[in-house]
Chain A
Amino acid sequence: MLSMRQLSKIYRTHMIETHALRGFDIEVKEGEFVAVTGPSGSGKTTFLNIAGLLEEFSEGDYLLDGVSVRGLNDDQRSRLRNEKLGFIFQGFNLIPDLNLFDNVDVPLRYRGYPAAERRRRIEDALGKVGLGSRQRHYPAELSGGQQQRVAIARALAGSPRLLLADEPTGNLDSQMARGVMELLEQINAEGTTIIMVTHDPELAARAQRNVHIVDGSVSDLERGALGHALHISRVDDSPSVAG
């Protein structure tokens, strides 16, 4: 589904070069649920942005669902993003002027579906996250957990092959976070590949595979190994693993 080989991302200013990613290798298979962890500044978000075609990379190769991303122009990247990817953000990023129906409608508009098809997908997606009866409500009228459910519905409406989630529970209390996580697990069980960046070791532990990023490079951890690392970090009271 996603394959990055020797990927690097260098931010350049006239004074300094910053290597956000270097020699970055990762392979995510179809149907996997991968949690990405790492300390702040390790390159997690850069990885997610590149995976989501929101940023370009400096060197290396990136295949998304078998399509080489290198050299694609803005239109091609946008189309690929629209057709194959879904995004869930920590801050939900719903558009406040639009009601739930119209928020979920956004990616479908760019897909060019006819009105009837869009309506069917929107109703299905909102129904799946338990908000089918609140289509005409506005984001401000919902709780944080409900807003994140709308964001998930928006990501699902276009039937993406890969769901990218950036701290999807970061702004939620533990009960809401649990609900969102269960929803993601259900979506994954239905066949959608998920890559989730998280600081929360408990959430990471629920993923099938954990990828740990340190200094812009990746190290896969088995679930058990991460659990061990988490255990050590808690004993040492060090935030480095989750941080």
Chain B
Amino acid sequence: MPDYAWPDREHRSLIGKRIGRVDSPAKVSGQAKYTYDVHRPGMLYGKVLRCPYAHAKVIGIDTDAAEKMPGVKAVHVVQGPGSNIHWAGDEIVAVAAVDESTAEDAIRAIKVQYQQLPHLVSDAEPPKGAAQGQGPLSMDDIDDMLDNQVPSQQMVAQIQQYGITAKGSEDALKGLKADGATDAVLEAIRTATAHPEAASRPKSNFQKAAAQTLGDPDKAFTEAEVVSEGLYGIPVITHCCLESHGSISEWTDADHLFTHISTQNVSGIPGQMAEPLKMPATNIRVQQDHVGGGFGSKFSPDRWGIFTAEISRKAGGKPVRIMLERDAELKVAGARPSAYARVKVGAKKDGAIVAWQSESWGTGGPGGGGMPPIPYVFVVPNQRKEHTAIRNNIGPARAWRAPNHPQAAVLTICALDDLAAKLNMDPVEFFGKNLDLAKPRQDIYREELAIASDLMDWKQKWHPRRENQSGLVRGVGLSFHTWGGRGHASDCDLTIHPDGSVDLKMGSQDLGTGTRTCILIVAADTLGIPIEAIQLQIGDTIYPPSGGSGGSTTIGGVSSSTRRAAVDARDALFAKVAPALNAQLDQLECVNGTVRVKGDSSRSLRWKEACSKLGAMPLTVRGKNPDKSKAPDLTSSGVGGVQMAEVEVDTDTGIVKVQKMVAVQDCGLVIDLKTAESQCYGALIMGISYSLFEEKVMDPSTGRMLNADMEFYRLAGLSDIPELVVRMMTGKGYDERGVIGLGEPPVVSPGAAISNAVANAIGVRVPFLPLTPDRVLAALGQKAGA
């Protein structure tokens, strides 16, 4: 049985070292091609007319003038008369023309009549008694869910849980299918219980989930010696990918579509386009070389990916490019749900946390959204939790790095930090004391907490919260986080050619996380040849399928399939080479560009020479993940991380400057230390950005996003970034866990850590992120007036 397990430290030539990103030279020289850069012969340019209203019905559309304009090649109504529009910026008509300006002129020439409907864009605390329990779903509800891109699994769960108001006719079901309902959803509707009496109930924007209780919270609060109550929250923010969403689609013949798309999910795109385009997935080819950011927002072709293909068909199959404008990118292409809570926590005098109570709310747009996993990391033995989802018209939510975790960290760790302050305890001591509630990762956290404290010089910097601060004041704060991991499904083909060249093909994508680099490190380490000796091809559906890059599952998937392929290829090569070296298979090893007998340097073949023993035909093997026949599992799940922040606050202006951040992170076996550290640096920077600046601001009267540009939707700039210290946990106790992803975990804690540092600095909690000057001054003012 071949040994697929990761080599131990002494037998790794590349794995775990600090290896440079292989696509850096292409990126720094402008040679790297992104979807937005693809220029196909005869390409047409598409533009989209968007609804200016947050809630409206389309009454009429007049495209005559646009269709007659010279240079306009196709006009495509996306949502025709009768369509209900649930957010401002939703797509109504698309146009393809010979150049962008002509397409823009054509868009201006289209007339649309709307009936405006009442909208809600606020996610403020729901009025008392306004929330209603979720009742049975109507066909309209289900249609709305489809419009709002609610995942199929979630729809099925809701249909099963709540039932439906009326059995849908087969015609109605056909309509749902045409709108994108999966077979699983249709089956759930067919088998759901009908509650016709519920159909007449008016629908509320506020939907209460059933309360969740653990232990005996009432008793625990009476027995608690110190109780802290507070308000905490984190608003809706956007993904703001620098490369906007979009695609270039063309029909290579009447039945075959070729799409370049900016995506996190190359292999998964054809399957999602097939049904709406009524064609087999196998006739759809998708290609992407580089992607300019995704962060969870680019798994689907999206409605615009579908109509780009449709409008290309209308234009005789010519390539059509539709990339979202910046304002559309911020309005419709991705938002992280908000979360707010009134939290009450209780502890014993010695700091032991005993009770948690929370009333939380938040919005994920028209779909509402669920409760973040609170209390986070620390499983408080007695809890009561209630959550109200706000269904409103801000546009649909999407997964944003570590979905629900940054929210959970702010709601939990900030509330517990206030409790520590009330106990007059140093948070390092307080959280350290309660780490047994953080099972099963308590030991990892304990080790990380000590390292982070040293790196931050916490003992020198922490002070109890002080009253009546003025001028420039400093403080420190910390937070904890976790995430799952494992590896997604991944196939790859590794070929060794008789001339010694090697290629590896995989339908994966590199989001800038270092996926290419890590695949090459694993293959090169296993084959004992340099990275440069392997040609890697990814980003195309002609290669074996590999999963979407989400949930920190990519590194686990691609490193496992690559390792298995490389081990099998190596062993197949050994079989050809063994006779020449007069050795048994298990005596051979691949080291330093040679195939040799272990411990006998005289019996050795150079790589090229060894490969020539393959004969005329190259050797190709398929590596897979998961693959139970090829144990062990090379991945693991469940990481721990601790972060600390130091801030300086100007109490006169309310301006917060982060002075230093420390991230101590575990992710099992690190494949490439350099890009792993970069992931953490990047996460800290993104975290500073959402802690201090980012918020999707909605105008209550017009229902539109007010800051849909990059001047007022502010990202952190270089000068906002302080000294950053990153420490990856490696070696014994970590390496043997296997590979675990790193995309999500380090971005979870900055919000809570920075908020806690500000509270430590100014002596009072600023309840909501981002920690803007007005919010800081308001919190200081409230304290002064109290």
- To the question of whether A and B form a pair in one complex, the answer is no
